[in-house]
Amino acid sequence: MGRIVVISTGGTIASRWQGSGFAADADGSEVMATAPLPEGITVEVVDLFSVNSPRLTTAHQLTLLRTVHEVLADPGVDGIVVTHGTDTLEESAFLVDLHHHDARSVVFTGSQRPMGTADGDGPENLYDALLTAATTRGLGVLVAFAGRVHAARGTVKTQAVALDAFADPSKELLGKIGFGKVAILRTPQRPAPLALPAMPELPPRVDVVVHHADGDAVLLNAAVAAGARGVVLVGTGAGNATPEIVDAVKAAVGRGVLVALTTRVMAGPVTEIYTHGGAVDLVAAGAVPAGTLRAGQARIAVLSALLASGEVDEQVRILREVLGAPRSVLVGA
């Protein structure tokens, strides 16, 4: 069915016991040796790095992004699988998706249980990801996990340790995998892809600030004072905070800081309903509503907008396009 390149980055799927806990230390060839190959597929392995995904930096993620583009420059490659830790998989997958302009699929997968365990889920997830990469086209970046296929955009880790770890709480399932076949149930909507960014010597700082009862503007102001060029405000409800935080957002935006507004609620969009510090006022102060994207992916959207341009107005335009209704939809092969 095709030639698939597996890019190995570590995570639980590459983890072994270290005496006090598990950590990634296996290379891609060792990970591949745990799983059978779908019939007709040949695999090549790129060992990019092997780390627990909470340790990933923007530099790691940009290296992964550039590696994906370099691999797809070979027309003989039929698809890519990225093995990745589950903690930050949703962020890396979304970053690659925002810059993915190729019909060939890039499929992220991982595991919830370490390699070598009798009940490990890594081999099945890897088999499914290979099958998905070889048989799908025009869907952007995907996540194959626990017999399900998810679009990168909107998909988050919803289970800390259970095997069915990922879902998009705001949308219907994209596809299912079983009996050697991949069934795609809908076509994801995606904005026009961004150009591949340069590798900055020092990536822009983008912080996440969560609102809560009794919350004030101290942490948001501290992020700006620490040099944040972007901030994601995680509001309550449909994207709400307080008048004091509205003032802090307005001041940050006035200094050229990009501010995105999301919510700590599991599902549903940020919606301008409430004033007195609610989303009505926050958006008026310059925060860009993130729709149904949650904090991790909203942060990636802000980061990508900052990397795409040095002009604040252009950064805001790009951020609105990435977070809002897509200008165009990529479909087909």
Identity of residue 274: Y
pLDDT at 332: 33
- Please report, for the chain, the start and end positions of each structural domain, with discontinuous segments joined by +: 2-184, 206-323
| 86 annotated as ligand-binding | yes
Check whether domain 2-184 has CATH 3.40.50.740, yes or no? no
Give CATH for domain 206-323: 3.40.50.40
3-state SS record for the chain: CEEEEEEEEECHHHEEECCCCEEECCCHHHHHCCCCCCCCEEEEEEEEEEECHHHCCHHHHHHHHHHHHHHHCCCCCCEEEEECCCCCHHHHHHHHHHCCCCCECEEEECCCCCCCCCCCCHHHHHHHHHHHHHHCECCCEEEEECCEEEECCCCEECCCCCCCCEECCCCCCCEEEECCEEEECCCCCCCCCCCCCCCCCCCCCEEEEECCCCCCCHHHHHHHHCCCCEEEEEEECCCECCHHHHHHHHHHHHCCCEEEEEECCCCCCCCCCCCCCCHHHHHHCCCEECCCCCHHHHHHHHHHHHHHCCCHHHHHHHHHHHHCCCCCCCCCC
| 87 annotated as ligand-binding | yes
pLDDT at 324: 80
Which residues, 6 or more positions from 218, have their beta carbon under 8 angstroms from its beta carbon?
none
Plot region of 227 (φ>0 → left; ψ -120 to 50 → alpha; else → beta): left
Same fold, 2-184 and 206-323: yes
Q: List average pLDDT for each run of 10 residues in the chain, which is 333 residues long.
A: 94 96 96 96 97 97 98 98 98 98 98 94 98 98 98 98 98 96 95 95 97 98 98 98 98 98 98 97 97 98 97 97 57 31
Its pTM stands at: 0.95
Which residues, 6 or more positions from 239, have their beta carbon under 8 angstroms from its beta carbon?
261, 262, 263, 270, 271, 272, 278, 279, 282, 289
How does pLDDT run across 258-293, given as a tens digit for each residue?
Answer: 999 999 999 999 999 999 999 999 999 999 999 999
Strand partners, 208: 232
How does pLDDT run across 175-205, given as a tens digit for each residue?
Answer: 999 999 999 999 998 999 999 999 999 999 9
Active site residues: 12, 86
CA angle 249, 250, 252 (to 5 degrees): 65
